Amino acid sequence: MKSVDDDEIIVEYGNPVEKILTVSEEKKCDLIVMGTHGTGSIMDAMMGSTTTRVLRRSKIPVMVIRLPEYIRKRFLSKVLSTIDIQKERYKTPFDYSQCARCGINVADRLCQKVDGKFPNGCPTNNSTQVIKAALDEMQKSGAFDFARQSTIQEGEGYGDRELGYARVRPIKSRIEETIEFSTRMNYRRLGLAFCLGLRKEARVVDKLLTKAGFEVVSAMCKIGRIDKNYIGVRDDQKIRLCGLEPMCNPIAQAFVLNEAQTDFNITVGLCVGHDSLFLKYSEALCTVFAVKDRVLGHNPLAAIYTLDSYYRVLK
């Protein structure tokens, strides 16, 4: 067995799983050794999560060992010394993607051009393994055509493209795009999951989809008439404050549409959280036509658009 050189310490900022896999591949490592000190601490739990993900995705063997305290302290000391040396290079350490905070001009970003600029928390630069895994998943899961057709639909949502990017303009509404995309995918049976509060809007959507030639299966949020007491909600926590008040039942909505074997599901006005459960349990892929916002006419972006005026209290 060749001796192991432990003098080289590489400090990388980013998603730990991605960095471990990337560096081990670049260095042509034969084995990944990961330590855990088994104290039951939060840090140990995080390491366990990282180790599990590395074990699942690594192409080379992974050995997990419990580090004696004196070795852990000695290694940590070396790492901290290395970080001290590099602190001028990395002013803001990060763990996960921070795309929403990117201040680089869109046209100059790495995600837009090969020699683009990028901040520390840039997944295009830091998460190459994740991106590759996503492309592999797209190929093997049957999502390739779905991605292709939705991208074509995106392009056809703009007019005057022949005049150049600066002159393009949107030409199709969300309902038009939903109908066109469903036709493009050769869907026949569409599911409609909606809130009782948007029953009138759901009826109009149902009519438009039916007129376009689709078979529509719809499920309203209150199906089952299960009282909110069932999930531990007290009477004083209800909207009506006392008596029977049916709870929203998004899992049942999903199951009803699953039973009907819908090709594609559309949500209209589901509550925050209820929409999450519906999306989790729906067997068919879904799109959101409208979200619930009782104050802003179901347009939650209105609060964002007026953050410097009417909704400045949120800042």
Please tell me whether the overall predicted TM-score, pTM, comes out greater than 0.75 for this model. no
Give the pLDDT of residue 1.
40
Sheet with 189-194, edge to edge strand ranges: 215-220, 189-194, 264-270, 286-291
Contact between 269 and 194 under an 8 Å Cβ cutoff? The reply is yes
What pLDDT, in 10s, does the model give residues 177-200?
Answer: 999 999 999 999 999 999 999 999
Q: Residues of the chain whose pLDDT is less than 70? A: 1-7, 13, 36-48, 70-73, 75-95
Give the pLDDT of residue 19.
85
Q: Per the structure block, which two tokens stand in for 183?
A: 């036709």
**Rounded distance, CA 86 to CA 93, Å?**
11
Sign of CA pseudo-dihedral 177, 183, 184, 189: positive
CA distances from 105 to 6, 53, 102, 125, 187 (A): 42, 34, 9, 16, 39
- What DSSP assignment string belongs to 212-227? TT-EEEEEETTTT--B
Where are the domain boundaries for CATH 3.40.50.2300 in the chain?
Answer: 188-305
**Rounded distance, CA 220 to CA 280, Å?**
17
Q: Does domain 188-305 have CATH number 3.40.50.2300?
A: yes
The candidate with the shortest Cα–Cα distance to 155, out of 132, 126, 184, is 184
Average pLDDT value for the chain: 87
